[in-house]
Amino acid sequence: MNEYSGRILLVEDNPNDLELTLHAFEKHPHPIKIIEARDGKEALDFFFDSSTGNVHQENLDLRFVLLDLKLPKIDGLEVLRRIKENPLTMKIPVIILTSSQEKCDLEKAYLYRANSYLVKPMNYLDFQKSLGILLDYWLIVNT
């Protein structure tokens, strides 16, 4: 890889959560290229051509997708399902980062083959620490 440790697709519609996440990523010692999507449609358009359904091959080199569940246009569970059902995108790790502690969301996320499910901590310092651990694991520890 170039100067970055990897590319991450961050799918988040809440401007405050987006800003907090980007700030936490900036503090990580391994540089990361962040691609942002503000809703479920943007996330799916990143992977799939909306007119043909073909996969954008140039966008398959992600280290992981960090996906919120409660998104406008297309919800996060549907985004997850579509990523994981396609043979070309299914191997990309998808980490759910959400405020939802609903058991049905957790169960559906794992049913649709999420690689991890994290509930956003309410405290900024805990949020930053959690994201640091997440980045350490998915960029350094995990192969």
Q: Where are the domains of the chain?
A: 7-141
- Cα gap 74→102, rounded to integer Å: 19
User: Distances in Å between the alpha carbon of 21 and those of 12, 25, 69, 82, 112?
Assistant: 9, 6, 15, 24, 24
pTM score, whole prediction: 0.92
Report pLDDT for 4.
61
What contacts 78, CB < 8 A, 6 or more positions away?
A: 40
Per the CB < 8 A criterion, the answer to whether 90 and 83 are in contact is yes
Chain segment 101-110, per-residue pLDDT in tens = 999 999 999 9
Single out the residue of 75, 74, 94, 76 nearest to residue 84, CA to CA: 94
Q: How many angstroms separate the Cα of 140 from the Cα of each of 5, 6, 26, 100?
A: 9, 11, 16, 27
pLDDT in tens, 120-134: 988 888 988 999 999
Name the class of domain 7-141: alpha beta
pLDDT at residue 1 greater than cutoff 70: no
